[in-house]
Amino acid sequence: MASEMMEALMALCQEKHIDELYLLDRLEQSLAKSYAEVLHLDFGAKVTIDRATGKVYVYKLIPRDDSFDEETGEYTEFDEEDVTPKGTSRIAAQHAKAEINAIVRNAARQQIYEEFSQRVGDIITGTVLQSTPDFTIVKIREGVEAELPHFDLRRYPEERNERPVGEHYSHNQRLKAVIVEVRDPNSTQPPVRGERQRPPIVISRTHPDLIKRLFELEVPEVYDGIVEVRSVAREPGIRSKVAVSSLDSHLDPVGACVGPKGSRVRTVVSELRGERVDVVLWSDDPARCVANALSPARVSRVLVDPEDNHATVIVPDDQLSLAIGKEGQNARLAARLTGYHIDIKNESLAKDILHDLPQRPEADLLDEEDEDGHRCEYVGPTGIQCRNMARPGSKYCGIHEKLMELGTDDVSNDPDSLI
> For 319-344, what is each residue's pLDDT tens digit?
899 999 999 999 999 999 999 999 99
Contact 210, 148 (CB under 8 A): no
Q: 332: burial class by Cβ within 10 Å (0-12, 13-18, 19+)?
A: middle
Task: Evaluate if residue 41 carries a pLDDT over 70.
Answer: yes
Averaged pLDDT for residues 195-200: 72
Task: Evaluate if residue 196 carries a pLDDT over 70.
Answer: no
Q: Does the N-terminal peptide bond of residue 296 adopt cis geometry, omega within 30 degrees of 0?
A: yes
Residue 188: pLDDT band (50, 70, 90) is: low
Residue 122: pLDDT band (50, 70, 90) is: very high
Averaged pLDDT for residues 217-242: 94
Q: Tell me, what's the pLDDT at 1?
A: 46
Distance of CA 123 to the CA centre of its chain: 7
Alpha helices by DSSP H, listed for 196-318, are 209-218, 220-224, 253-258, 263-271, 286-293
- What span, in angstroms and rounded, lies between the C-alpha atoms of 380 and 198? 70
Task: Using a cut of 0.85, tell me whether the model's pTM lies above it.
Answer: no
What is the domain class of 2-115 according to CATH? alpha beta
Fold entry, domain 294-368: GMP Synthetase; Chain A, domain 3 (3.30.300)
Q: Tell me, what's the pLDDT at 371?
A: 44
Residue 88: pLDDT band (50, 70, 90) is: low
Averaged pLDDT for residues 124-133: 91
Give start-end residues of each CATH 2.40.50.140 domain in the chain: 120-184+196-204
Q: Are strands 276-281 and 74-75 parallel, antiparallel or unpaired?
A: unpaired
Fold entry, domain 120-184+196-204: OB fold (Dihydrolipoamide Acetyltransferase, E2P) (2.40.50)
Give percent above pLDDT 90 in the chain. 35
Residue 76: pLDDT band (50, 70, 90) is: confident
Q: Tell me, what's the pLDDT at 353?
A: 60
Taking the CA atoms of residue 67, residue 69, residue 74 and residue 80 in that order, the dihedral angle to the nearest 10 degrees is -10
Q: Tell me, what's the pLDDT at 397?
A: 77
- What span, in angstroms and rounded, lies between the C-alpha atoms of 410 and 408? 6
What would the DSSP string read from start to end of 312-370? EEEE-GGGHHHHH-GGGHHHHHHHHHHS-EEEEEETTTTHHHHHHSPP-GGG-TTT---
pLDDT digits (tens, 9 = 90+) for 355-410: 665 554 434 454 444 444 566 777 776 666 676 667 777 777 777 777 777 654 44
Task: Evaluate if residue 194 carries a pLDDT over 60.
Answer: no
Provide the CATH number for the domain formed by 222-282 in this structure. Answer: 3.30.300.20
Q: Tell me, what's the pLDDT at 199?
A: 84
Q: Tell me, what's the pLDDT at 292?
A: 93
Q: Tell me, what's the pLDDT at 414?
A: 45
Q: Tell me, what's the pLDDT at 365?
A: 55
Averaged pLDDT for residues 120-148: 91
Stronger pLDDT, 69 or 232, i.e. the higher one: 232
Q: Tell me, what's the pLDDT at 293?
A: 93
Average pLDDT, the chain: 81
- What span, in angstroms and rounded, lies between the C-alpha atoms of 332 and 239? 11
- What span, in angstroms and rounded, lies between the C-alpha atoms of 242 and 208? 10
pLDDT digits (tens, 9 = 90+) for 143-176: 889 999 999 888 888 888 999 988 899 999 999 9
Q: Tell me, what's the pLDDT at 370?
A: 46
Task: Evaluate if residue 78 carries a pLDDT over 50.
Answer: yes
Helix axes 286-293, 329-338, angle to 10 degrees: 150
Give start-end residues of each CATH 3.30.300.20 domain in the chain: 222-282, 294-368
Give start-end residues of each CATH 3.30.1480.10 domain in the chain: 2-115
Q: Tell me, what's the pLDDT at 129?
A: 92
Stronger pLDDT, 61 or 75, i.e. the higher one: 61
- What span, in angstroms and rounded, lies between the C-alpha atoms of 143 and 218? 29
- What span, in angstroms and rounded, lies between the C-alpha atoms of 27 and 31? 6
Task: Evaluate if residue 190 carries a pLDDT over 60.
Answer: no
Measure Cα distances from 241 to 232, 238, 284, 317 in Å: 6, 11, 17, 24
- What span, in angstroms and rounded, lies between the C-alpha atoms of 323 and 30? 68
Q: Are strands 123-131 and 56-63 parallel, antiparallel or unpaired?
A: unpaired
Measure Cα distances from 343 to 45, 297, 311, 335 in Å: 75, 14, 6, 10
